[in-house]
Chain A
Amino acid sequence: MQSLKNSIVGLHKRWSLLNSTANVINRRSYTTQQLTNGNITHTDNLNQCSNDYIRDKSGDLWELVVGVEIHAQTKTKEKLFSNSANIGSVDGLQANSRVSFTDAAFPGTLPILNQSCVEQAIKTGISIGGEINPVSFFDRKHYFYQDLPLGYQITQYTDPIVRGGKMILTLNDGRQHTIRISHIQLEQDSGKSIHDMHPTQSLVDLNRAGIGLMEIVSHADFRSSEQVGLYIKKLQHLLKHVGSSDANMQLGELRCDINISVHKPNTPLGTRVELKNMISPKAIMSSINAEAKRQIQLLEQGLPITRETRGFNQETGETFHMRTKEGEVDYRFFPEPDLPPLVINPTWIETIRESLGEMPEDMKKRIISLYQLSDYEASLLIEDFRIALFFEKSIHHNTQEPRLAKSILPWITRDIFSFINDNNTSFDQINLTIDQFTEFLDLIKTDYLSPRTGKEILSLILKGDKRSPKAITDALGLSQISDDLVLDQLCQSVVLAHPKEVNEYRSGRDRVFKFFVGEIMKKTKGRSSPEKVNTFLRKYLDNK
């Protein structure tokens, strides 16, 4: 909601959201069910839901109604109906170099369904809590275009592979909002048309033609751009988690179509407009805000909304007309006669379900209660489930007594995360074994290594040092001075060497104590335990 407010208020001062007191009421009485039971003109809930409304200058309330269609490329070696390589997002390959006769629709070719694509769709279906249809069908959707070699797209129109499912979003103000998913259908990607490389001709690259897509279609349950942004990010996370798609938007592995309309509460739904070709969740949210604003302005002036497809110009922050729906072709859907019904054995579904393991939400709940983590800490960990698993493993690895979660977390969420971010890498690509990490944790715990030098050691390991943390520490002479006698004598000599500062301290200037600590740290090059230094210094400073 915040971003909607910013963009609307920022661009046009006459727009504002309802004041924040509404939020307080909301948290108490808002329920998701009321919003998403299909009855979207709900005057009864006006107060409860008020921060999902937009108020224009004249004080009128407008409600945003958005549905989202996501196209995610299946993470499979081969295409949906041919055995040519699914190169997904790989750039730099020669155009039309990964194209079979089937992809190019040569006469006599027929589609053969790739089982791995089905498996990925089932995984996705299970992960959103959908029903896997034991029998589903493929249909043909006809239109002529140069990058659609068959003259039709093979898709699932009447009986898709997955029905239902939902995503529960936690909004920034803490409320929960449920998005119902209508279905997931398996279909073919088209080729790419390139219009800007030749002055008079369009070029066609069929490398993408025939790659499997999972089209995940939501109900029109979104009431704000924030919800859409959260939904897309959450879905991306889920697809990566179950491994059914790499879901990178910049690379086109995940694409998003937005259906958006506005209306006044308790009035019929408005005319919907389709938004296409946005390349990031952020751009999608901005485009929704811009389009909502445009539609409300038109309606306020008494002008109609046209059914059309619009794009989004990130530079101007405005949507623009692409094509009208009136000129839309009749797709002439009919059952694909080259493919028998897709019959899925229930035991296969169960095998896949078992292989999927824990879903992110369940994992989050479990690690919160098991290790007393905060919601925020748990969210950070499950962002990549491999990190969460690594965290869990480091608690019990090579030890009788479990390590404390609180002592492990900062190293992961601070040091490891910042290394991953700074180096634009991912957890599975960094050099850190569970042996190294747990040994490292134990060195800290036993004071062999101070937390300060520990940071350096961990950084060295992350950068590729394959030695054990102890070996590195010893080689660099960075182990903490843990011989009490040495430290005791050092403290005594420092106190004796600075009579002036001792007097200042004893006359009540506590700050001088830091001077003595600093001196010890200088002499030990930071390798002394701060608590022990404190104890010994106090002994010589206070007991005279």
Chain B
Amino acid sequence: MSKIQNVKKLLRSKEINVRDLVQESLLKINKGSHNRLNCFITLEDMHTLDSAIKHSQDRYNNGTERRLEGIPIALKDNYTTKGIKTTCASKMLKDYVPTFDSTVAKLLKDEGAIIIGKTNMDEFAMGSSSTSGYFGSVVNPWSEKSKEKKELVAGGSSGGSAACVAADYVLASIGSDTGGSIRQPAAYCGVVGFKPSYGTISRYGLISYASSLDTPGVFSKNVDDASLLLDILIKQDMDHDATSISSPFKSIDESYQNYKKNKSIKDLVFGIPMDYLVKELDQEILDLWKKVVDDIEAAGGKVVPVSLPHTKYALPSYYLLATSEASSNLARFDGIRFGHRASSSTNQADEGWGQGLKQMYKDNRTEGFGEEVKKRILLGTMALSRGSIDNYYSKAQKIRRLISQDFKSVFKGTNTPQDPTQIKVDVIITPTSPTGAFEIDSHLDPINMYINDIMTIPSNMAGVPSVSIPLKLSKKNNTPLGLQLISKRLNDDLLLFASDLVMNLSADKEFK
């Protein structure tokens, strides 16, 4: 099943070579016009990639190829890459060239991956549509196939990474997920988007939005490829990230393969949280959700209703916590050591002691940040301010704990009110988002925009692994629809297994 393994086999057998593979990828990206879907903020070319291509080809020639040798991979533009511009889709960092590699970039390179570009996103990963960035909107590759042929959003904030896998530019890409930024664009673009347990992949070099929620993760066409990438990226990084943990599985891929060999759907219990049945839910997605339940039961799997009662508080508390942390994390962008320096601020000495400095901060940040970022910095600053922290930040933290306990009791089997047997649930199934991809210029008001994250946010709050898998095409618009699977913290291997089962069981042939 693994597409990466198949391509590697072709490279090994010399049916194709690394140069052609990379070339083909770049040609696809630029087909029609340069960077046609605006997936990339920075795109490498054959010249800049030349030595990496040669090196990879040499390794194939002498049989020392590594796990991603010569495979083109795209990286979201909030991961630092040494010598390659990293902008976070912000004017603030539009010319910023990092001096060090993020751990994610380093691990990929160490396995021979060829980073062909940095993908477009919402500015500083704040958004659900990849339309808020300084470099414009990402276009969903399904737009052309959709019935109305209008430009659709790719979702966000990792829209570029999701779109470039959906468009077959690359076999896999890297995103980051703070409140759904991998899973929601995966659903909109019809690819697998996996957000592992918080702390399993190092955040070093991932430019922080909300530290306690930010989770690196992967996009791919199938679960096998996701598993391979996770196997490379899940590694404790004690020297660089204090929130990085050691994982219980020695190799997640091995563990996933063992599940596939030794277990079947009959060994799993699936939970359906009624709390996710929100009024905004699209009928087609509801139907898909029901169909998957039927499919699982028909295949001999067990499905039970579960209760996650604090879900309804997740959205407001998320927007308080994430913005609070963001207001703090983004304080370093002052334009002094790096980043945007407003031209009006160069000579302010005549304004008196300290006034020049204050004005410089104001000018740099007012000009450097976009509207959504400013909105969130203001909201977070308010939530942490002396008069508000008790009512906002602190309350939200308490709600976060309750949400986390909701998940724990479901996975422990102590919270399934409609089921007297109090059965232990392995995997929760929900929609990924209430709707499919919407039109790029549909001008949603902020609240409607935030509601897009309603299904994905609880997993970030609890730090549990969750994944969006593509299953169907909307009859209405011929665009992808996906579901979300969630498992117990650090059961990422089991979650991979369940995702693979459900895809095999219920996915349309487009997604197999």
Contacts and interface: CB of A to CB of B under 8 A. Distances in A.
- Interface secondary structure of A, over-half rule: loop
Nearest to B204: A110
B331 A101 contact: no
Contact of A330 (B96, B212, B338, B386): B386
Interface string A102-135: 0011111111110000000000000000000000
B319 to A, nearest CB: 16
A151 B242 contact: no
B242 A111 contact: yes
Contacts of A109: 204-205
Contacts of A107: 80, 86, 88, 93, 96, 98, 207, 332-333, 338
Question: How many B residues touch the partner, as a band?
Answer: 35 or more
Nearest to B241: A110
Contacts of A340: 242-243
B389 interface: yes
Contacts of B80: 107-108
A250 B497 CA distance: 64
Contact of B337 (A104, A110, A111, A337): A104
A320 interface: no
B325 interface: yes
Given A146-B336, A334-B328, A334-B384, A108 B206 contact: yes
A86 to B, nearest CB: 18
Interface in A31-84: none
B240 A110 contact: yes
A316 to B, nearest CB: 21
B393 A334 contact: yes
Given A151-B328, A152-B331, A202-B357, A110 B203 contact: yes
B331 A200 contact: no
Interface residues of A, number: 33
A149 B338 CA distance: 11
A105 B349 contact: no
Contacts of A337: 210-212, 243, 325
A199 B393 CA distance: 44
Interface string B369-413: 000000000000100111001000100000000000000000000
Interface in A203-224: 204
A144 interface: yes
A91 interface: no
B239 interface: yes
A149 B242 contact: no
A338 interface: yes
A146 B364 CA distance: 13
A38 B26 CA distance: 74
A101 B334 contact: no
A150 B240 contact: no
Contacts of A105: 332, 337
Contacts of B331: 142, 144, 150-152
A340 B207 CA distance: 19
Interface in B313-362: 324-325, 327-328, 331-334, 336-338, 347, 349, 357-358, 361
Contacts of B203: 110
A385 to B, nearest CB: 36
B246 interface: no
Contacts of B79: 108
A332 B211 contact: no
B284 to A, nearest CB: 38
A229 to B, nearest CB: 32
A338 B334 contact: no
B99 interface: yes
Contact of B385 (A108, A146, A200, A332): A332
B102 interface: yes
Contacts of A142: 328, 331, 384
B376 to A, nearest CB: 15
B199 to A, nearest CB: 9
Contacts of A338: 208, 211, 242-243
Interface string A338-355: 111000000000000000
B98 A151 contact: no
Contacts of A108: 79-80, 86, 98, 100, 102, 204-208
Interface string A450-473: 000000000000000000000000
Nearest to A138: B242
B100 A101 contact: yes
Contacts of A200: 347, 349
- Give the residue among A105, A110, A150, A339 with the most B Cβ atoms within 10 A: A110
Nearest to B385: A330
A108 B241 CA distance: 10
Given A108-B100, A146-B336, 4 more contacts: A109-B205, A149-B337, A151-B328, A333-B384
20 contacts: A106-B100, A106-B338, A107-B98, A108-B206, A110-B208, A112-B238, A112-B241, A112-B242, A140-B328, A142-B328, A145-B357, A149-B332, A149-B336, A150-B332, A199-B349, A330-B385, A333-B384, A334-B328, A337-B325, A338-B208
